[in-house]
């Protein structure tokens, strides 16, 4: 008879899963590289999706895609509700984005990632009925200091005081979108600096939560799926996040209500992902502040990945050299 403690090992994702997930993000990133700078974002995404799906099919877990990709731009998808893995091992929720930053990839710009987040089954918030949410992310200093319902200037001043910095030393990462014009004006009026991101607010949130980066805060309206994925990473970093769903129309608001979501509630990291057993894995497609992109070095393809695990509170970097001939023959 298997003991309760032993049996529990088969019910939850374990540390070995991380390296299996890295294989999937590496494959997606490598397959996307021929399209970098070619202006063909859907082709890049399609190649990454096919590679990620193929590798996930070999992983020893029973995954259900809670957060798929492609729904906002009609690109190829790993769709919500799709089952991935070989059906054995732990039951998991999974969030996937074979390329976070398809436009960045197509334009040859920095900060495109291939990423996967995993948590225990039934723990990820399904916010698919609302495409966007308002977010504010910092490191652990934000707890008891930041309130998303206060003006951004007040939050900047409170964070600066808690960090022992001058307001002029605070840098806020913001997606470069017309909807953020007032937010950017308010940040600069408070005396803080902005770091404008063309895309990729997951990386922006992670950098705001990591120690030793040049970003103190990430704020603004971005994708709801990206908010949940960011929360998976923050569980390992001990970072702070608050969000509020941001329905764009009355119809979308009603869809959220019908799905049981409270559009007026401030959501914290535990509302977005319950429990303390999450993984976040990302491989660089193009160079960025989080990881380097895929590089061809003669007969070698080199990838760099980051692996975060909340159970152990660890951040690992994985640099891998792949024989290019193995990929060219496939």
pLDDT score recorded for residue 305? 97
Q: Are residues 149 and 260 in the same domain?
A: yes
Q: What is the per-residue burial (b if ≥16 Cβ within 10 Å, else e) of 217-256? A: bbbbbbbbbbbbbbbbbbbbbebbbbbbbbbeeeebbeeb
pLDDT score recorded for residue 1? 38
pLDDT tens, residue by residue, 87-118: 888 899 999 988 988 899 999 999 999 999 99
Q: Are residues 176 and 161 in the same domain?
A: yes
pLDDT tens, residue by residue, 279-303: 999 999 999 888 999 999 999 999 9
Residue ending a domain, choose from 249, 272, 295: 272
Q: Are residues 56 and 150 in the same domain?
A: no
Distance (Å, rounded) from C-alpha 9 to C-alpha 3?
Answer: 10
Reported as a pLDDT band with limits 50, 70 and 90, residue 179 is very high
The answer to whether the annotation marks 287 as part of a ligand binding site is no
Query: What is the span of the domain harbouring residue 312?
Result: 5-124+277-326
Reported as a pLDDT band with limits 50, 70 and 90, residue 14 is low
Task: Give me the residue label for tokens 């202006």.
Answer: 39
Q: Are residues 24 and 140 in the same domain?
A: no
Q: Is the pLDDT assigned to residue 70 strictly greater than 60?
A: no
Residue ending a domain, choose from 228, 248, 272: 272
Q: Are residues 55 and 169 in the same domain?
A: no
Distance (Å, rounded) from C-alpha 166 to C-alpha 22?
Answer: 39
Q: Return the beta strands (E) in the chain as ranges.
A: 62-67, 83-84, 91-100, 113-120, 132-138, 171-175, 193-197, 217-223, 240-245, 267-268, 279-284, 295-297, 300-309, 314-323
Q: Are residues 141 and 163 in the same domain?
A: yes
pLDDT score recorded for residue 77? 60
Distance (Å, rounded) from C-alpha 175 to C-alpha 163?
Answer: 24
Q: Give mean pLDDT, residues 295-314.
A: 93
- CATH label of the domain that carries residue 31: 3.30.540.10
Reported as a pLDDT band with limits 50, 70 and 90, residue 330 is low
300-309 vs 295-297, strand pairing mode? antiparallel
Find out whether 245 and 224 touch, Cβ atoms under 8 Å: yes
Q: Give mean pLDDT, residues 247-254.
A: 93
Q: Are residues 191 and 76 in the same domain?
A: no
pLDDT score recorded for residue 10? 45
Reported as a pLDDT band with limits 50, 70 and 90, residue 13 is low
Q: Is the pLDDT assigned to residue 325 strictly greater than 80?
A: yes
Q: Give mean pLDDT, residues 139-148.
A: 97
pLDDT score recorded for residue 128? 83
pLDDT tens, residue by residue, 128-143: 889 999 999 999 999 9
The answer to whether the annotation marks 74 as part of a ligand binding site is no
The answer to whether the annotation marks 223 as part of a ligand binding site is yes
Reported as a pLDDT band with limits 50, 70 and 90, residue 255 is very high
Q: Give mean pLDDT, residues 322-329.
A: 82
The answer to whether the annotation marks 179 as part of a ligand binding site is yes
pLDDT score recorded for residue 9? 42
The answer to whether the annotation marks 45 as part of a ligand binding site is yes
pLDDT score recorded for residue 89? 83
Strand partners, 283: 114, 305
The answer to whether the annotation marks 58 as part of a ligand binding site is no
Reported as a pLDDT band with limits 50, 70 and 90, residue 200 is confident
The answer to whether the annotation marks 123 as part of a ligand binding site is no
Q: Are residues 80 and 190 in the same domain?
A: no
Q: Is the pLDDT assigned to residue 120 strictly greater than 90?
A: yes
Q: Give mean pLDDT, residues 168-185.
A: 97
Q: Are residues 211 and 298 in the same domain?
A: no
Q: Give mean pLDDT, residues 201-228.
A: 92
Higher pLDDT, 191 or 82: 191
Q: Are residues 160 and 115 in the same domain?
A: no
Return the structure tokens found at 16: 């070995």
The answer to whether the annotation marks 329 as part of a ligand binding site is no
The answer to whether the annotation marks 330 as part of a ligand binding site is no
Q: Are residues 179 and 253 in the same domain?
A: yes
The answer to whether the annotation marks 270 as part of a ligand binding site is no
The answer to whether the annotation marks 200 as part of a ligand binding site is yes
Find out whether 137 and 240 touch, Cβ atoms under 8 Å: yes
pLDDT score recorded for residue 6? 39
Structural domain total, the chain: 2
The answer to whether the annotation marks 69 as part of a ligand binding site is yes
- CATH label of the domain that carries residue 224: 3.40.190.90
Q: Are residues 308 and 182 in the same domain?
A: no
The answer to whether the annotation marks 97 as part of a ligand binding site is yes
Q: Give mean pLDDT, residues 26-39.
A: 95
């Amino acid at each position: 008879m298997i003991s309760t403690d032993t049996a529990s090992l088969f019910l939850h994702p374990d540390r070995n899963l991380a390296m299996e997930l890295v294989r999937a993000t590496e494959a997606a990133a490598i397959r996307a590289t021929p399209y970098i700078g070619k202006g063909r974002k859907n082709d890049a995404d399609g190649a990454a999706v096919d590679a990620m799906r193929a590798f996930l099919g070999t992983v020893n877990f029973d995954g259900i895609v809670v957060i798929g990709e492609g729904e906002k731009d009609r690109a190829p998808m790993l769709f919500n509700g799709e089952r991935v893995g070989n059906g054995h091992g732990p039951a998991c929720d999974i969030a996937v984005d074979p390329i976070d930053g398809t436009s960045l990839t197509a334009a040859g710009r920095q900060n495109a990632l291939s990423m996967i987040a995993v948590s225990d089954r039934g723990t990820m918030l399904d916010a698919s009925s609302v495409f966007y949410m308002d977010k504010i992310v910092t490191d652990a200093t934000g707890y008891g200091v930041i309130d998303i319902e206060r003006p951004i200037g007040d939050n900047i001043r409170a964070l600066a005081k808690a960090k022992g910095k001058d307001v002029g030393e605070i840098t806020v990462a913001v997606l470069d979108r017309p909807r953020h014009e007032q937010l950017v004006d308010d940040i600069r009026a408070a005396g803080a600096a902005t770091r404008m991101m063309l895309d990729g607010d997951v990386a922006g949130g992670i950098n705001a939560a990591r120690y030793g980066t040049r970003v103190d805060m990430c704020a603004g309206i971005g994708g709801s799926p990206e908010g949940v994925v960011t929360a998976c990473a923050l569980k390992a970093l001990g970072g702070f996040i608050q969000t509020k769903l941001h329905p764009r129309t009355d119809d979308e608001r009603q869809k959220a209500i019908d799905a049981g979501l409270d559009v007026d509630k401030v959501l914290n990291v535990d509302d977005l992902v319950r429990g303390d057993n999450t993984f976040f894995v990302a491989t660089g497609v193009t160079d960025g502040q989080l990881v380097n992109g895929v590089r061809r070095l003669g007969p070698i393809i080199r990838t760099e990945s980051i692996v975060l695990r909340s159970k152990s509170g660890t951040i690992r970097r994985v640099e891998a050299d792949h024989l290019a001939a193995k990929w060219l023959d496939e």
